[in-house]
Amino acid sequence: MPKNFLLFAVACLLLSGSCATTKHVDIPPVTIFANAPNADIYQGSYPIKVSIKHTDLDLHFDWERAQVLGKATLTLQSYFYPQDSVILDANGFELKEVSRETAAGRVKVPFSYNGKKLAIALDRKYSRDETFKLFIDYIAKPNELEVGKDISSPDDRGLYFIEPDTVTGVPRQLWSQGETECNANWFPTMNNTMLKMTQRIALTVPDSMVTLSNGLLVETMKGDNGMRTDVWKQDLPHAPYLVMIAAGVFDIVKDQWRGKEVSYYMEPEFAPYAPMIFGKTPEMMEFYSRKLGVDFPWDKYAQIVVRNFVSGAMENTSASVFFDRMNMTPADYKDETYEDIVAHELFHHWFGDLVTAESWANLPLNESFATYGEYLWLEHKYGKEAADMHALNDQLSYFAKDKNKELDVIRFDYADREQMFDEVSYQKGGRILHMLRDLVGEEAFFAALQLYLKNHAYQSVEIHDLRLAFEQVTGQDLNWFFNQWFLASGHPVLEIKTDYAGSTKQVLVRIAQKQDLSNTPLYKLPLAIDIYVDDHASRQSVTLTKQEQTFRFPLAKAPQWVNVDAKKCVLAQKEQYKSIDEWAYQYHHGSLFMDRFEALQHLKDKIDSSKAKEVVRAALTDKAWIIRLMALRSVENLSAGERKSIYPTIKKMAIDDARSYVRASAVMLLRTHYKAYDSQEVLKMAAQDDAPSVQQALRLKN
């Protein structure tokens, strides 16, 4: 789930209170941790004494008070040891009845409630071989939860009543957001990712609205006063945080995949564009199912766009929710398709929904995979160049914050679970999976993922489950890889120097690991090194294991270029010592997007060199739009005469470039550095371009 990153203040909630009964069940205190890491903190998985097997909800809504009028029936079972009590999460409820369901009817039971935890006393100890049912009649008041006391942030209310606004055009809607532990704000449950349960949810709403929840719509009943009840049932187990509901005025655009319904819930104004926005979903489902060797495992797949969502999107089982930037027109789509987010949430349905991280410390088992799912889709649909451009963004996002290098990927010392939703769990984790794929090979990588998914379907996992699947498939001990990448912080900082020793006819490659070894591992790094002679590359495979190492390769004459990390898949900061001629050669002869990106990055500020100018000119017509954009931003460093010589290219880019951001940058360049030229006709043509970025470029002051 793309998610806002939240920082929380220290708050300790003092809990007390019980019902007037002869039996009392103690409720453990609840703490919201400080936002600073603490070595004394260990955030493990939650223990399970009793598990929820099934949740049945009958929900009405008081729209004016923003309240849920709920009746919940929970089917529970002692996990291993016999239990005579149950503790549920139920935040800010007004409790009307708490009973045990029996063959003879409901029997009220003793309970204690402190506003967050509901502790229920049973009539006896129940063994793990028997189930029992509890009934709770309640009112949930998510809008009345106090930030800093009941919840840590306004984004944690769990259920949101969106009021209509005639000025902004926001319609009335209702939607939920359960991750991390917010669903307990609107129905009684257990905030434990290790639990898996089935569910039935009946939603009573105005007949003008449509509803959405997990699973299938199995019944619709017209009621009194213009109301309707929709019953949604999910027979496949999933974690409580993945439960969702939504209601509002939406058009449902239906598609299908292998006979399963695929649907897009959009506001009527934007529904005509649903095939443009979400239409590749069935193709994605087919690709992921075949690639993973595990078919899409849920009964249906719906995607809904809601107003004022607290995050980018959320992978609720069989019903993903997206923020309102997905309410796009064809013009908006020219700038951003958000296809990566569509892929991200869908891939979660294997990694996160089918197989779920057992604790928030293991969140990368959900988010790293969903992030890498974006790469896999782009690679499949648009080729390696497009995927590598996306991967560059992930890499730069991770490197952008110094604090990221201080954090383990799988970490148990976070102060608040929301801190796990960062560039380490997402972007770094995705790049680690890419390195793992390269290390074990294509066939083994996906065979291991298939084994992992099949072995742990509808279960929870930790990082070692993933490692063991890879070890079982490959027959290798991969502790070293998982320890240095998933269970440690930081990344390699490599100083790379190459030379040719004519006297011994050897290429020398000196690599030093410069990262802080007091906090970061000394890495074992398998590397590919390509040595170019007469425009032909020969590949050498080496493994860096020391702080400083020199690799020697016999060669009859000096190479044109030595390409260290030739696959460009190692997550590392690299300081490379090359001449301008070598960088220029790399741009023109490198086979990968990252070869050209690195070369242009090093040459764009060395514009006094004729070789650098030549690369900038060539980059204006590069097949990668990011490189074309970089080249445009280097044009201002050219002399007036040099700018004049490329004026026809800039004009053409302003009108014809395939990427709107490049067209917008070319338009800005024409308006700023080509004022003396006759650009008005071109700018008039650009004005017909309805991409928002181009229109903004035309409006901005010089």
- The CA distances from residue 449 to 90, 249, 442, in Å, are 36, 40, 11
Per-residue confidence at 470, pLDDT binned at 50, 70, 90? very high
**What's the one-letter identity of residue 265?**
Y
Cis peptide before 22 (omega within 30 of 0): no
In tens, the pLDDT along 452-462 reads 999 999 999 99
96 CB neighbour count, 10 Å cutoff: 12
pLDDT at 134 over 60: yes
Q: Find out whether 512 and 495 touch, Cβ atoms under 8 Å.
A: yes
Average pLDDT of the segment spanning 433-460 = 98
Find out whether 640 and 675 touch, Cβ atoms under 8 Å.
no
Q: Residue 108: enclosing H or E segment and its boundaries?
A: strand 105-108
Res 679: pLDDT: 84
Contact residues for 487 (Cβ-Cβ < 8 A; gap 6+) = 408, 409, 410, 463
- Whole-angstrom CA distances from 611 to 264, 537, 604 are 51, 22, 11
Written as six digits, the tokens of 163 are: 């009021």
Identify the CATH number of the domain defined by range 250-488. 1.10.390.10
CA 59: distance to chain centroid? 30
| Residue 23 predicted with pLDDT over 50 | no
Q: Are 426 and 417 in contact (CB under 8 A)?
A: no
Q: DSSP state, 64? A: T
Identify whether the C-beta of residue 613 lies closer than 8 Å to the C-beta of residue 607: yes
Tokens matching residue 352: 């996160």
pLDDT of residue 701: 78
What is the model's pTM? 0.94
Question: CA 190, CA 192: separation in Å to the nearest integer?
Answer: 6
Token pair, residue 38, equals 């603490």
Q: Please report which confidence band the pLDDT of residue 36 belongs to, taking 50, 70 and 90 as the band edges.
A: very low
Rounded Cα gap, residues 598 and 492, in angstroms: 17
Residue scoring higher pLDDT (487 or 224): 487
Q: Rounded to an integer, what distance in angstroms lies between the CA atom of residue 622 and that of residue 579?
A: 22
Residue 531 bridge partners (DSSP) = 538, 562
Q: Report pLDDT for 285.
A: 99
The pLDDT mean for the chain works out to: 94
Instruction: For residue 92, give both structure tokens.
Output: 């800010």
Cα end-to-end distance, the chain, whole Å? 39
So what's the pLDDT on residue 351? 98
Q: What is the CATH architecture of 491-577?
A: Sandwich (2.60)
Q: What pLDDT was estimated at residue 2?
A: 57
**Residue 105 burial by Cβ neighbours in a 10 Å radius (0-12, 13-18, 19+):** exposed
Q: In a 3-state reduction of DSSP, which class is residue 453?
A: helix
pLDDT digits (tens, 9 = 90+) for 303-317: 999 999 999 999 999
The tokens describing 454, both together, are 């099949």
pLDDT of 8 higher than 60: no
pLDDT of amino acid 26: 63
Domain boundaries, the chain: 250-488, 491-577
Tokens representing 364 are 């990368």
Percent of the chain with pLDDT over 70: 94
**DSSP-derived 3-state class of residue 159:** strand
What integer pLDDT is reported at residue 506 of this predicted model? 98
Which region holds residue 103: left if phi is over 0, alpha if psi is between -120 and 50, else beta?
alpha
- Cα gap 440→264, rounded to integer Å: 38
Question: What is the average pLDDT across 240-269?
Answer: 98
Other C-beta atoms closer than 10 Å to the C-beta of 486 total: 24
Mean pLDDT of 417-431: 98
pLDDT digits (tens, 9 = 90+) for 620-677: 999 999 999 999 999 988 999 999 999 999 999 999 999 999 999 999 999 999 988 8
Q: What integer is the mean pLDDT of 508-537?
A: 97
pLDDT at residue 544 in the model: 98
Between CA 258 and CA 287 the distance in angstroms is 12
**pLDDT(371) > 90:** yes
How many residues are present in the chain? 702
Amino acid at site 381: K
Mean pLDDT of 469-489: 98
pLDDT-derived band of residue 607, with 50, 70 and 90 as boundaries?
confident
C-beta of residue 521 within 8 angstroms of C-beta of residue 544: no
**pLDDT on residue 618:** 97
Q: Which residues of 444-470 are buried (b: 16+ CB within 10 A; e: fewer)?
A: bbbbbbbbbbeebeeebbbbebbbbbb
- Eight-class DSSP state of 153: S
CA distance 689 to 334: 10
User: What's the distance, CA 352 to chain centroid?
Assistant: 11
CA-angle at 400, arms to 177 and 341, nearest 5°: 35
Give the whole-number percent of the chain exceeding pLDDT 90. Answer: 91
**Domain 250-488 identical in fold to domain 491-577:** no
Contacts of 602 (CB under 8 A, 6+ apart): 576, 578, 583
DSSP H or E segment with residue 252? strand 251-257
What pLDDT was estimated at residue 29?
Answer: 54
Interval 581-608 mean pLDDT: 96
What average pLDDT score do residues 240-265 get? 98
Instruction: Look at residue 17 in the predicted model and tell me its pLDDT.
Output: 32
Helix axes 580-589, 593-603, angle to 10 degrees: 150
**Confidence category of residue 31, pLDDT binned at 50, 70, 90:** very low
501-515 mean pLDDT:
98
Joined together, the tokens standing for residue 449 give: 């993922």
The answer to whether residue 242 scores a pLDDT higher than 50 is yes
Least confident of 170-184, 450-464, 532-546, 633-647: 633-647
Mean pLDDT across the stretch 183-187?
Answer: 98
pLDDT band at 700 (very low <50, low <70, confident <90, very high): confident
- Reduced DSSP (H G I as helix, E B as strand, rest coil) percent helix, strand, coil of the chain, to 5: 35, 30, 35
Given a cut of 80, whether residue 149 has pLDDT beyond it is: yes
Q: Which residue has the higher pLDDT, 672 or 289?
A: 289
- Other Cβ atoms closer than 10 A to 700: 12
pLDDT at residue 405 is higher than 80? yes
Give the residue-averaged pLDDT of 566-571. Answer: 98
Query: Which residues neighbour 696 within 8 Å (Cβ) at sequence distance 6 or greater?
Result: 664
- Sequential DSSP letters for 31-61: EEPPSS--TT----PPP-SEEEEEEEEEEEE
Distance CA 176, CA 180 (A): 12
Q: What is the pLDDT of residue 40?
A: 79
Residue 280 contacts residue 342 (beta carbons within 8 Å): yes
Mean pLDDT to the nearest integer, 270-284: 98
Q: Got the DSSP string for 288-305?
A: HHHHHTS---SS-EEEEE
pLDDT for the residue numbered 262: 98
Q: What angle (nearest 5°) sits at the alpha carbon of residue 14, between those of residues 9 and 18?
A: 145
Angle formed at CA 170 by CA 165 and CA 176, multiple of 5 degrees:
115
Could you give phi then psi for residue 477, rounded to 5 degrees?
A: -85, 115
Residue 208 clears pLDDT 50, i.e. is over it: yes
Compute how many other C-beta atoms are within 10 angstroms of the C-beta atom of residue 57.
Answer: 24
**Nearest CA among 89, 121, 73 for reference residue 193:** 89
What is the average per-residue pLDDT within 355-377? 98
User: What was the pLDDT predicted at 678?
Assistant: 80
Strand 50-62 and strand 67-78: the pairing is: antiparallel
Beta bridge partners of 254: 263
